Each structure stands twice: as C-alpha cells, then as structure tokens.
Amino acid sequence: MKTYKQIVEIFDAAATAHIPTKMFAEGAIDYLDANSQNIKYPFMFLRPLASAGLQNQTRTLTFELYSLDVPKLSDQSPLLVKSNTELWLYDIISYLNYGPTSDRNIACNLVTMTPVNEAFNDRVYGWVAQIDVTEDGVYNYCNFPG
C-alpha cells in the first residue's frame, strides 16, 4: 500500500516530467491564490477532497487536479490557454496510468472537468479535474506491523 505522501509524489513526478509545467504543489485551496504564493505558470495543483476509505480491498482518494496558466501576452486568447491546459490534464493522467512510474495496482480515473476563468483576479485560466485514485488489494494481514 502506498502512503498518501507517495501518491502525491507520483503526481509531482508526472508534473516534473511534463515539459510545459513550471510548478507543482499540493494543499488547501488558498494555496492557489497567486497573491499569497510565488506561483510559476503553467501550474499543476493537487487538492485532496475525500477518501471513501477501504471498500472491497480497494482504497479510493478523490482529488481536484488544477491545470492553470496565464496568457503570455495581454491580447492572447484565453481560449488557447484553456485548450492547452485541458490537454495537459490528460497528459498527467496518462503518465500516472501508463508512464514509467505506473503501478498496476493504482489507477487514476477522470470523473469530471470544469473550466477555470480568471481565478483569483490574476488572469489565470485552465481546468480543474475531479479525479479518483484507486489502489487495489491494499490491506491485508501482511501489512500489519509486527
């Protein structure tokens, strides 16, 4: 069974390997406010939402994964930014499911995607995806510390 920290580190590895992404972070929603952080864009942000716990030997963690960017020029279309950031979400999910650090017991499933328009008054655009990370066969007597 992977720890929560190890799962976040897999997302971090995916974002680090992703050429367009300049920064990755995990945490509470207020970390997304560029006024309180030194955020470099394009930015991937992982926000934990819930855990269904263990059900039938499967652990599920639900996250919001934000893919955000700022138009490079004052007249650049937010449409281009939203188009790119959507594709980047698919890239990260593909990395988790099929990339070099993929684990056949872990799956990343896209539930929904919602556009982000001018978040936090700093011209940020992109998408937020709700994803479920499931891990099969995670708990048995072999995991019992002894």
Q: Closest by alpha carbon to 46, among 18, 81, 10, 17?
A: 10
**Which residue range(s) make up the domain with 49?**
4-143
Tens of pLDDT, residues 75-121:
678 899 999 999 999 999 999 999 887 777 889 999 999 999 875 55
Q: How open is the CA angle 71-73-76, to the nearest 5 degrees?
A: 65
Cα distance between residue 81 and residue 56, in whole Å: 41
Read off the CATH number of the domain in which 22 is found. Answer: 3.30.2000.30
pLDDT (average), residues 116-145: 77
For residues 9 and 102, which has the higher predicted lDDT (pLDDT)? 9
Q: What is the pTM of this model?
A: 0.87
Task: Give all strands of the β-sheet with 43-55 in edge-to-edge order.
Answer: 23-26, 43-55, 58-69, 124-136, 106-119
For residues 142 and 67, which has the higher predicted lDDT (pLDDT)? 67
With H, G, I as helix, E, B as strand and everything else as coil, classify residue 56.
coil
